């Protein structure tokens, strides 16, 4: 008859579900903020840490560490994965993946075995091959990425031109330098490199280095002449 009574009922069901998973070999050392859908599947020896919410349609393998502060929806996670502060919707994560902190997997993100996704990375409608590293501050959308690829910090797959979405293809063992913009549709071949700060608009052949940036120009005494700063009062 009240919101508080509804809370009490929900809390009874929440603890019943948690108890069921504990009895099946799942470790939940602190139940604070842990919410698990009644039909979720979780393998033995997986650890669920505080603040984790496992919504409908989720399957999690054995030997994983999920959380803290992870939210999963219609997502499948393999065995021996680590998901630390991850938000995932309609995604697939293969065995031994290491994700987080602060990773967002949007629908149709397909993460391969032994993939690492680090701080503030976002994956959407993309296939990420095994042993690939997407370490930090990177967006990979509408892309097919091979195995053993390294993404430098600040990489963006520029997949939307204002009218249509386009895909990028990145071959095996490619190295994408920091602050690279890949203007889709574009293909980076196997073992190809892009130089840091490049905007790639054409295909990069395998075993090649692509450099797409202006030469540095230094204008001496520009600051003294233009005085572009505010006068400091201290």
**Close Cβ partners of 184 (under 8 Å, ≥ 6 residues apart):** 142, 143, 157, 158, 159, 165, 166, 167, 168
Question: What gap in Å lies between CA 18 and CA 24, rounded to an integer?
Answer: 10
- 3-class DSSP state for residue 216? coil
Closest to 118 measured CA to CA, from 96, 101, 93: 101
Contact, 201 vs 212, CB < 8 A? Answer: yes
Question: What gap in Å lies between CA 131 and CA 146, rounded to an integer?
Answer: 9
Q: Which residues pair with 66 in a beta bridge?
A: 48, 83
Question: What gap in Å lies between CA 68 and CA 183, rounded to an integer?
Answer: 35
Report residue 164 as tokens. 């249509």
Concerning whether 104 is annotated as a catalytic residue, the answer is no
Q: Which of 21, 116, 131, 136 is catalytic?
A: 136
Q: Which residues are catalytic?
A: 136
């Amino acid at each position: 008859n009240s919101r508080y009574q509804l809370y009490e009922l929900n809390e009874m069901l929440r603890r019943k579900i948690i108890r069921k998973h504990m009895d099946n070999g799942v470790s939940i050392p602190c139940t604070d903020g842990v919410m698990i859908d009644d039909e979720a599947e979780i393998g033995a020896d997986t650890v669920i840490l505080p603040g984790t919410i496992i919504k409908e349609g989720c399957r999690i393998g054995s030997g994983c560490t999920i959380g803290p502060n992870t939210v999963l929806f219609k997502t499948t996670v393999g065995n021996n994965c680590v998901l630390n502060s991850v938000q995932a919707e309609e995604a697939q994560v293969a065995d031994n993946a290491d994700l987080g902190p602060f990773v967002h997997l949007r629908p149709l993100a397909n993460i391969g075995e032994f993939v690492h996704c680090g701080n503030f990375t976002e994956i959407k409608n993309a296939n990420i091959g095994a042993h690939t590293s997407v370490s930090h501050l990177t967006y990979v959308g509408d892309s097919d990425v091979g195995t053993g690829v390294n993404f430098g910090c600040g990489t963006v797959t520029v997949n939307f031109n204002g009218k249509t979405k386009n895909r990028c293809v990145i071959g095996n063992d490619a190295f994408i330098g920091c602050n690279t913009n890949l203007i889709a549709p574009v293909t980076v071949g196997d073992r190809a490199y892009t130089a840091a700060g490049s905007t790639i608009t054409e295909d990069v052949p395998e075993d090649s280095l692509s450099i797409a940036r202006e030469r540095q120009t230094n204008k001496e005494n520009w600051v003294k002449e233009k005085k572009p700063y505010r006068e400091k009062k201290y």
